[in-house]
Chain A
Amino acid sequence: MELFRTDIILIILAAGVATYLTRIGGYLVLARFKNIPPRVEAALDAVPAAVLTSIVAPAAMTGGWEVSVVILAAFVLGFKLSGLRLLFFGWALAMVLRHAPF
């Protein structure tokens, strides 16, 4: 099998261009406005928490009961731990829930 095929490469590169358009799209649109109204600014401030929550919440619902327990526990512990420590805790709890003999 050859390393690269032209038709596949074209799809992959087109997908890359399409993704880059989404990455600069908001910037190109917003650059047309001189002043940002306060409501729009409040909406933009809400973007990170809103998008990240939307990625996590359904995973708590569809990933199996252990994932639901891990995410709930990580939410509570997230008020105390952050970054790597929270990540390690979540991983360790999932391992215990899946492999402990009970």
Chain B
Amino acid sequence: MSEFWRGARHSVPIVLSTAPFGALFGAIAVDNGLTVGEATLMSMSVFAGASQIVGMDLFGKHVPGWLIVLSIFAVNFRHVLYSAALVRYVSHFSALQRYVSFFFMTDPQFAETARESRSNPPVSFWWYMGMALTIYILWALFSFVGAYLGGLIGDPKAIALDVLLPVYFLGLVMGFRKQHGWLPIVIASAVGSMVGMYLFGSPWHVTSGALVGVVVGALLPPKNHVKPVDPADLAGEEV
């Protein structure tokens, strides 16, 4: 069980940066005609913030249900890449453990699991679930609170809630900086996503940026030897 609590502790910065968005989603959902119960259920069944907010936008415009489902599917399509990449980290999980753990896979969960598999392999199932369940329960709880309190949050920009998610994700990107080919991949993805944003708009910039970065990662000259990890490199990466 200590692994479970270690995972739960690792989720603290994730919860701090995503809780405002859970509450924001709840408030937006009620604003677009969902009930408190429906908004909470959506956070528990979809559990993917950006796609939930996109879905609310469409609910408010009274588009057909299948189109809402398709849009949420498109926004979440990047998860296909995550589960393909995650297979190697969780190959020692049982089949049931894999099907359970993949349900809880989010952007930060994936990034932290990739990091854990480098710093403390093999990834423990209970470490994974400690992190995943803490994020899941608090995501649902904050969605409920946000929906219940409705418009009380006001302008999220006034208290700078809008910078939390980008800065948190940037911190995760920085955590991979010792990785082979990190800088070319980051530059390629940044350019690819900005061009994608300009040409196709959101959320397709994520697809275009990720594709460019992944192709660059595949085409870079392979590393010829594995350098031993200096423990000092990992010292600052406990969260």
A residues near B, CB below 8 A? 1-5, 7-16, 18-31, 36, 38-63, 66-67, 70-71, 74-75, 78-84, 86-87, 90-91, 94-95, 98
Contacts and interface: CB of A to CB of B under 8 A. Distances in A.
Contact of A53 (B41, B86, B213): B213
B116 to A, nearest CB: 12
B185 A50 contact: yes
Nearest to A72: B170
A19 B206 CA distance: 16
B89 to A, nearest CB: 10
Contacts of A27: 83-84, 86-87, 98, 102
Nearest 5 Cβ contacts at the A-B interface: A46-B217, A50-B213, A54-B209, A26-B84, A16-B45
Nearest to A45: B217
Contacts, number: 297
Contacts of A16: 42, 45-47
A59 B105 CA distance: 23
B158 interface: yes
Given A18-B72, A42-B217, A45-B179, A57 B209 contact: yes
Nearest to B163: A94
A42 B222 contact: yes
A27 B173 CA distance: 23
A36 to B, nearest CB: 8
B137 interface: no
A67 B194 CA distance: 15
B65 A58 contact: no
Contact of A30 (B34, B84, B159): B84
A60 B166 contact: yes
27 contacts: A2-B35, A3-B36, A4-B38, A19-B46, A19-B48, A19-B76, A20-B103, A23-B82, A25-B84, A26-B83, A30-B84, A41-B88, A44-B88, A45-B85, A46-B216, A46-B218, A48-B111, A50-B189, A54-B190, A54-B208, A56-B173, A57-B194, A70-B166, A71-B163, A84-B239, A90-B164, A90-B170
A26 B13 contact: no
B76 A26 contact: no
Contacts of B163: 63, 66-67, 70-71, 90-91, 94
Nearest to B12: A84
Given A45-B217, A54-B210, A59 B166 contact: yes
A60 B210 CA distance: 17
Contact of B206 (A10, A54, A70, A74): A54
